[in-house]
Amino acid sequence: MAALLRERPAKPTDKRSFRRPAGAKTERIRFRDRRNVALFWLMVPGLAYFLLFHYGALVGNVIAFKEYIPFEGLWGSPWTGVGNFQRMLEDKAFWDAVFNTVWIALLQLVFYFPVPLALALLLHSLTWSSVRRFVQSVAYLPHFISWVIVVALFQQVLGDTGMLNSYLGDAGLHSADIIGNPDAFKPLVVAQVIWKDAGWGTIIFLAALSQVDEQQYEAAAIDGAGPWRRFWHVTLPAIRPVVILLLIMRLGDILSVGFEQMLLQRDAVGPQAAEIIDTFVYYQGIVGGDYGYAAAAGLFKGVIGAVLVYAANKVAHRLGEQGVYK
Amino acid sequence: MEKPKPLTQAAKVLALLTVVLLVCVPFLVIVSTSLASQREVVAGGGWVLWPTEPTLQAYRDILDGGIVTHALGVSAGVTLVGTLLSLACTVTLAYALARPGVFGGRPALLLILFTFLFPPGMIPNFLLVKELGLLDSYASLILPVLINVFNLVVLRGFFQGIPEELYEAARLDGAGDLRVLWTVVLPLSKAALAVVGLFYAVAYWNSWFYASLYLESDHWPLQQVLRTYVISGVSMTDTTLGDGAVNAPQTIQMAVLVIATVPILLVYPFLQKYFTKGVLTGAIKS
């Protein structure tokens, strides 16, 4: 690598000979080849990262077919075949986690998904651009706040001694039992996702909306279309592809709901309400030390998840949309 | 277009005001509570909307050389080193993948995109970090998350958007690839670099899970400390705080919360203008 890089200063001489009519062609080809090899070396650090930390780690999934014994390590531990998977399929706690995951994902689909869309439409309809930019800036901000802080903020506002309850107390009303209440947990996490990411989620819709030709609105208005009809016939067709694509992709990703968010709050409400597949893997493996079993659950999620994402893409293509990859 | 009806205008203003208040009020509460005196916090039942006698005592307590001070240093260091390393590796890889006909470019791209579809999983990652001997080292917070595929795709898309003529011109002037990258491509990509750099910096600053997984508690970054003392409710004692902790724990907790949030609030205004500039929208579509 070093040798190749050191050859770089020789370039100008190369170029001079390249300008000579005789042998110009061969010089040019050599120059191109060397150029490509040099670019290849630029890829090396990044590629090494992916090979080691993704493909290298991927190999570690063999532990899912073994019983991990710390003393023996990854390779020395005895094989158990599909034993871990059999145990998993019979484990009620695992199925509770799957149920919670899918249930929370569906709740988010119904209650979170429309919010960024509505907010984007609202922002798009504003004619006063400085107000619009200000609201956009404020609404994007929570996306950059860590889950630790978001959870702490929600405790501050909705907790037993929080803002909401002291106002309710002042008004002589019953206090609302929200934080730490297993029954309120699922609505709470959906509300947290809305607070954190609804603003940021408008970006993609706003991008689609900005593609609409302003003249279409004017033409529709001249044809006598009111605001509602303009929305129905101009705005909606413009964002429909994005909406369908995002919906399909979210369905493909249904086995993933915010791991950090759940892990931070699981202890407060217990596994019944808050265990998702990812936290199940964490508690079985990292906390419980049962790496083989935990890896089996993780692999199960990875395989099903990949199949779902792949299928979602196929559906998107079938519907004539772009998909995430081609 | 005709004038909008006053009723819809009012409804819009109300909706926007709600959005702004929902975002801003929680921040106001934590800042106010962190600045309030003990008496006021106790009287307010644990929180204050506006401090009548503001004091910086809580900040003095936690920045007095205790665990929070140390955690702040760890977070700043990991964020700085991590962001620079990540940016360097992402830029070089994205640049090579953006040029046509690189040796091995196509298979490399497929290899990388596949990781997006099938991540290795938590347990194999943990075992790998352990096997590599990275446990309880700050490298374990950086190396396993060095390159983010989304950021890579954003930068590659941006580099591809630079007109081919500029590459040709630079090459005819005798510039090698590294030189073209440094003198032509990077200066043209400031906006994309700013956005991707912000994403990396925010990710490193906000990260706590890997720290809880890989590091001993005396090496923890700020977010993990915050998690332990504020969310899990472990109480801060005199020894963890440094000397002279006399303030109400509530103000202390809120002060830690503010310190963990402030860096993001500080860089955000400078960078958010790029979000509306279409740096991302182009990339998201591709």
A55 and A177 inside one domain: no
Percent of chain A with pLDDT over 70: 87
Segment A12-52, tens digit of pLDDT: 344 443 444 444 444 444 445 555 677 888 899 999 999 99
A132 and A262 inside one domain: yes
Please tell me the least confidently modeled range out of A172-181, A197-206, A262-271.
A172-181
A100 and A37 inside one domain: no
A282 and A242 inside one domain: yes
Helices then strands, each counted (H, E), chain B: 17, 0
List chain B residues with CB under 8 Å of A155: 230-231
Look up the domain containing A291 and give its range: 83-318
- Specify the number of domains making up chain A: 2
Mean pLDDT, chain A, whole residue set? 84
DSSP letters spanning B30-62: HHHHHHS-HHHHHHTTS--SS-SS---HHHHHH
The CATH number assigned to the domain holding B54 equals 1.10.3720.10
A94 and A237 inside one domain: yes
Segment B22-69, tens digit of pLDDT: 999 999 988 998 898 878 887 777 778 888 888 888 888 888 878 889
Query: Greatest CA span in chain A, whole angstroms?
Result: 96
Q: Which residue has the tokens 């096997």?
A: B131
In a domain, A120, yes or no: yes
Segment A121-136, tens digit of pLDDT: 999 888 888 888 889 8
* pTM recorded for the entire structure: 0.87
Q: What is the dihedral of CA A27, A30, A34, A35, to 10 degrees?
A: 60
A32 and A178 inside one domain: no
In a domain, B77, yes or no: yes
A61 and A88 inside one domain: no
In a domain, B68, yes or no: yes
In a domain, B192, yes or no: yes
Q: How many CA atoms lie within 13 A of B209 on its CB side?
A: 19
Look up the domain containing B199 and give its range: 38-285
Segment B64-96, tens digit of pLDDT: 878 889 999 999 999 999 999 999 999 999 999
A174 and A312 inside one domain: yes
Among all residues of chain B, which has the CA nearest to that of A116?
Answer: B19
CA distance B213 to chain A (A): 8
In a domain, A71, yes or no: no
Judged against a pLDDT cut of 50, whether residue A3 lies above it is answered with no
Helix (H, G, I), strand (E, B) or coil at A71: coil
Q: Is A146 exposed, middle or buried (0-12, 13-18, 19+ CB in 10 A)?
A: buried
CA distance A315 to chain B (A): 16
ipTM, interface predicted TM-score of the complex? 0.89
What does the pLDDT read at residue B37?
83
What does the pLDDT read at residue A30?
45
List chain B residues with CB under 8 Å of A66: none
In a domain, A152, yes or no: yes
In a domain, A40, yes or no: yes
Please tell me the least confidently modeled range out of A154-163, B184-193, B239-248.
B239-248
Among all residues of chain A, which has the CA nearest to that of B222?
Answer: A148
Q: How far is CA A83 from CA A21, A89, A288, in A?
A: 72, 10, 18
**Mean of pLDDT values over A85-113:** 95
A131 and A29 inside one domain: no
Alpha carbons B229 and B58: distance in angstroms, whole number: 15
A88 and A217 inside one domain: yes
A314 and A244 inside one domain: yes
In a domain, B262, yes or no: yes
Q: Which of A148, A263, A180, A145 is nearest to B226 (CA)?
A: A148
- Cβ–Cβ below 8 Å for A35 and B177: yes
A128 and A211 inside one domain: yes
In a domain, B108, yes or no: yes
Of B26, B102, B174, the CB nearest to A11: B174
Residue B90 at interface with chain A, using a CB cutoff of 8 Å: yes
Task: Measure the N-to-C terminal CA separation of chain A; round to a whole number of Å.
Answer: 33
In a domain, B62, yes or no: yes
**Mean of pLDDT values over B116-136:** 92
